[in-house]
């Protein structure tokens, strides 16, 4: 958004975001009227910290070889903390210089390791190649959606400053990648999106007050251009913006899902399968309904196990998914085997997933809402499961 709002021409941009803890790769189509995410991917467990860890492992081995010891120096908290700081510092230093020296202190012994730019590139080459492979995978998905090229390759995220990143990308993709505000572009994009939303809300509010309509019924894109321009001029005058700036706030921003979402159910062979109702890289908001059936005669309840996963297949193995919520649909007595149950997934622009299950025969239903995230694990997973307990019987 930060880059696209002022680009001034229609372009397809590939955004390579290598941060401290995550790697994201996204293809975006930019026009004067819209900024549209085509596909997004990456690895939420890969980032600059992995470069640090590779360097720390090398330094630990170097100390052991120099001192002839088999002790695990990384088990010492003080040594590990010092190496973490020095490794990150050395990584940054080697973006400007060819060599640097790193002190290693453990058990009263001190060793100095000389590290070259070539050595760190050798140690971390597999990590960089992982980002290249993920970029190729994303471009393959983009091609399936009819996008076979990009006009610009943009590097963001602090770790994209490492010289090896641009060199390898330019070599692999025959491009001249440019670094775009690596530290602040995400924050700026969020700020611009907030500004856009506030201007749009003000327009809707003003139109509602003038026409007596409710704000929920007003859609800016359905209003005559002359009418909309009149209200835009009023808002521009009131908030001290140019008319062009207010009109720019109407740029449509379209996102896609970064994961697939589905439920676990039995297939025709009574094997558990993960049925994806919303697929990765589908445009949001999105709604999809699929009909399942009860497994037994007189079944008293249906357990709805909601999963997120990286697969783009409609049906996959549950072991590839991560449970993010559950709900229980209580069934009436006397239902035959195979009685229909409709499951509907709705996901909005904010990533809120609403799951509804309806027993068709007697129209008994259950609904739960889940706040999806790019990564759900640990405490966040516990919280997601806790949220899913707040189900409402319809």
What span, in angstroms and rounded, lies between the C-alpha atoms of 183 and 157? 6
Contact 4, 32 (CB under 8 A): no
Residue 99 φ then ψ, to 5°: -145, 155
* 56 CB-contact burial (10 Å; exposed 0-12 / middle 13-18 / buried 19+): buried
Contact 155, 177 (CB under 8 A): yes
What span, in angstroms and rounded, lies between the C-alpha atoms of 342 and 359? 7
What span, in angstroms and rounded, lies between the C-alpha atoms of 111 and 386? 50
From residue 370, alpha-carbon distances to 4, 73, 209, 325, 386 in Å are 30, 44, 34, 7, 10
List the structure tokens of 283.
């445009």
Helix, coil or strand: residue 55: helix
pLDDT reported for residue 376: 44
List the structure tokens of 108.
């009263």
Long-range contacts, 313-319 (Cβ 8 Å, 24+): 313/276, 314/275, 314/276, 314/279, 315/267, 315/273, 315/274, 315/275, 315/276, 316/273, 316/274, 316/276, 317/273, 317/274, 318/264, 318/272, 318/273, 318/274
Task: Give me the average pLDDT of each 10-residue run along the chain (394 residues).
Answer: 85 95 95 92 93 94 89 92 92 89 90 92 96 96 94 95 94 95 90 91 89 86 87 89 87 90 92 95 94 92 93 93 91 91 91 91 82 53 50 36
Tally of CB atoms within 10 A around 197: 12
Look up tokens 């913006």; give the residue. Answer: 241
pLDDT reported for residue 244: 87
pLDDT reported for residue 365: 86
Nearest partner of 90 among 114, 108, 68, judged by Cα: 114
* 26 CB-contact burial (10 Å; exposed 0-12 / middle 13-18 / buried 19+): buried
């Amino acid at each position: 958004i930060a880059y696209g709002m002022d680009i001034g021409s229609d372009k397809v941009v590939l955004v390579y975001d290598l941060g401290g803890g995550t790697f994201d790769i996204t293809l975006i189509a930019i026009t004067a009227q819209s900024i549209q995410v085509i596909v997004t991917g990456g690895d939420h467990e890969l980032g600059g910290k992995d470069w640090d860890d590779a360097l720390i492992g090398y330094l630990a081995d170097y100390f052991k070889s120099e001192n002839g010891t088999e002790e695990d120096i990384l088990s010492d908290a003080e040594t590990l903390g010092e190496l973490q700081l020095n490794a990150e510092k050395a990584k940054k230093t080697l973006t400007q210089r060819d060599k640097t020296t790193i002190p290693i202190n453990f058990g009263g012994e001190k060793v100095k390791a000389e590290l070259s730019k070539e050595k760190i590139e050798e140690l971390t080459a597999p990590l960089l190649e992982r980002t290249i492979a993920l970029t190729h995978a994303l471009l393959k998905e983009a091609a399936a959606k009819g996008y076979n090229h990009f006009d610009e390759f943009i590097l963001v995220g602090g770790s994209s400053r490492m010289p090896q990143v641009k060199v390898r990308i330019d070599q692999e993709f025959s491009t001249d990648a440019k670094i775009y505000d690596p530290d602040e572009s995400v924050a700026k994009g969020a700020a611009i999106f907030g500004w856009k939303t506030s201007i749009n809300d003000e327009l809707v509010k003003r139109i509602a007050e003038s026409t007596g309509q409710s704000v929920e019924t007003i859609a800016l894109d359905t209003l005559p251009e002359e009418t909309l321009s009149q209200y835009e001029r009023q808002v521009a005058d009131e908030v001290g913006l140019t008319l062009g700036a207010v009109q720019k706030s109407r740029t449509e921003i379209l996102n896609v899902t970064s994961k697939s979402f589905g439920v676990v159910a039995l297939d025709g062979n009574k094997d558990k399968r993960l049925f994806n109702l919303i697929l990765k890289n589908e445009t949001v908001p999105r709604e999809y309904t699929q009909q399942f059936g009860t497994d037994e005669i007189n079944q008293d309840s249906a357990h709805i196990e909601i999963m997120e996963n990286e697969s783009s297949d409609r049906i996959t193995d549950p072991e590839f998914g991560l449970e993010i919520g559950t709900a229980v649909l209580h069934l009436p007595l006397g239902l035959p085997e195979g009685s229909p149950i409709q499951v509907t997934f709705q996901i909005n622009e904010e990533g809120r997933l609403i799951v509804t299950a309806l027993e068709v025969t007697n129209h008994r239903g259950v609904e739960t809402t889940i706040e999806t995230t790019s990564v759900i694990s640990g405490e966040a997973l516990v919280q997601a499961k806790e949220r899913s307990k707040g189900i409402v019987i319809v």
